[in-house]
Structure 1
Amino acid sequence: MAAEEDQSIAKLKATMANCNLDTKNADDFAEFEATLAKIDDILNNGASHDDEPEADDGKVKEKIDFDTIDVDKVRVKVRENRTVINRKSIQEDQDKQAKTMDQQTFMEQVERDANERAEARAKNEYDAELQRSQGNEAFRNQKYEKAILHYGKAIEKIKDSAITYNNRALCYIKLRNYKRALQDCQHILEKLHETNLRAWLYRATVYKRLNDTENFEESVAKAREHNPKQLAYIDKYIKQMEAEE
């Protein structure tokens, strides 16, 4: 080995002399090449078994051959793991967005329904008021049957109007249809407005015409009980009703 190195140095010096170079640098250059050769030998042969890392169980870890490792497989594995994480995150975001949209859609639907009901109520009230006005006109002209028809149409539009029921009850009283008059009064007092003064007074009128003293007096008493601020008006109504008999 040493003889080969000496021959190489001699050849190098001869070459440098032919090129008119200083042969003193041949020894330094040869030493540098020897160092490179040793490093190359270490890299090619690898470290000894004693220098290999150990696992926690004392076994020598498998040495990774970076020259033959499949880089594409490593990248695919990492990419697959990231895909799983991203899909979970995306699914959570989609579920959250869907829930938010469901709540928003529900509130929008509730608002639309409320607006539609309000609009429908406003239209029905307008139509009912028109029918009630026509009924009032017919009543003033003593056309009680016609007035009843208009009040009935108004009730079809707005079913919770005590005024319309009272107006129709009065028409029935004028026509001496006390049964129907009493039905309208009872509907008001039981379903719409328990303290309604006109309903109690019309009820009293019906029972007075039917000579039902007990129910007549009860109706007057209830009218006074529920409307203590209207006692003077109640007394005046009763006197007028008795005068008309």
Structure 2
Amino acid sequence: MTSEEGNDDAQLKATLMNCNLNPNDADDFAEFEATLAKINTILQSKGPCEDDSKAGGDAKEKINFDKLDVDNVRLKVKENRTVINKKSLGEEDVKEAKEMNQQSFMQQVEKDANDRAEARAKAEYEAELQRSQGNEAFRSQKYEKAILHYDKAILKIKDSAITYCNRALCYIKLQSYKRALKDCQYVLEKLQETHLRAWLYQAHAYKGLKQDDKFEESVAKAREHNPKQVAYIDKYIKQLEAEV
């Protein structure tokens, strides 16, 4: 032990005595302190496997770790952790999911709209073919055949006031007035309240059923809903009364 170390030990013992502690503990404490110094030297070196002779320095004293009293040695290790904000991550996931769901929903809505438009266009085309064939049969006074074509057209497009009125006129020609009334009433109640032909054909059907009060009411409604077509209405009614 060097003189400097001896002086340190003597000073340490004197301090312990002043604190009413056992001076014999100074030896153990000094040994423990020396051990810590050696460990610190090793940790600050370039590595336990590095050749000191190559580094140009003096050979450092090696410590036998098998005989090291680990109970008296404590190493403080600073832990480096990456903290993940689970709350923020969850909120981002929810937001992203909502955006994806909204985008998928809008894409599906657009697709459905396109599909419906395409289906409607196809149905209208097929209905128009049937209606054209029905009109041709009507001009040939083949009213039953015309009705069959109008039936097929209505199956394709159920909201065509023209097709219902065409079929109603066929029923009138066949003197099937009650069926004609059903078609006219469907147009006026479900499709278009102001439809002129529906009011006139309804009046015609009531005339055929000899229900004069409802005939007059239908004619008045035709004029009320179509004030610009009064001349045409009067001409139709005059021709109707002449036939009856």
**CA displacement at 1:169 relative to structure 2:** 0.1
- After TM superposition, list the pairs within 5 Å mapping 1:96-175 onto structure 2: 96-175=95-174
**CA displacement at 1:242 relative to structure 2:** 1.4
**CA displacement at 1:112 relative to structure 2:** 1.0
Cα distance in 2 for residues equivalent to 1:135 and 1:70: 98
Cα distance in 1 for residues equivalent to 2:76 and 2:132: 93
**CA displacement at 1:171 relative to structure 2:** 0.2
Q: Is 1:244–2:215 an aligned residue pair?
A: no
SS at match of 1:167: helix
Cα distance in 2 for residues equivalent to 1:220 and 1:92: 68
SS at match of 1:179: helix
SS at match of 1:69: coil
Tell me which residue corresponds to 2:202: 203
Structure 1 stretches of at least 4 aligned residues deviating more than 6 Å after TM superposition: none
Q: Which amino acid aligns with 1:68?
A: R
Cα distance in 2 for residues equivalent to 1:178 and 1:167: 13
**CA displacement at 1:213 relative to structure 2:** 0.8
**CA displacement at 1:212 relative to structure 2:** 1.0
Q: Which amino acid aligns with 2:227?
A: P
- After TM superposition, list the pairs within 5 Å mapping 1:86-101 onto structure 2: 86-101=85-100
**CA displacement at 1:70 relative to structure 2:** 4.1
Cα distance in 2 for residues equivalent to 1:194 and 1:234: 16
Q: Which amino acid aligns with 1:89?
A: S
Cα distance in 2 for residues equivalent to 1:234 and 1:88: 75
Deviations 1:26-85 (A, max 9, x none): xxxxxxxx8xx8xxx6xxx8xx9xxxxxxxxxxxxxxxx9983342xx42xx42xx34x3
SS at match of 1:176: coil
Deviations 1:109-157 (A, max 9, x none): 1111111111111111111111100100110111111100110111111
**CA displacement at 1:206 relative to structure 2:** 0.8
Cα distance in 1 for residues equivalent to 2:242 and 2:97: 74
Tell me which residue corresponds to 2:228: 229
Q: Which runs of 5+ in 2 are unaligned?
A: 16-35, 41-72
Q: Which amino acid aligns with 2:102?
A: Q
Cα distance in 2 for residues equivalent to 1:203 and 1:87: 73
Q: Which runs of 5+ in 1 are unaligned?
A: 6-33, 49-64
Q: Is 1:68–2:74 an aligned residue pair?
A: yes
- Give the TM-score normalised by the residue count of structure 2: 0.69
Cα distance in 2 for residues equivalent to 1:241 and 1:151: 24
Q: Which amino acid aligns with 2:156?
A: K
SS at match of 1:172: helix
SS at match of 2:75: coil
Q: Which amino acid aligns with 1:114?
A: A
Q: Which amino acid aligns with 1:211?
A: K
- Give the TM-score normalised by the residue count of structure 1: 0.69
Identity %: 70
SS at match of 1:182: helix
Q: Which amino acid aligns with 1:69?
A: L
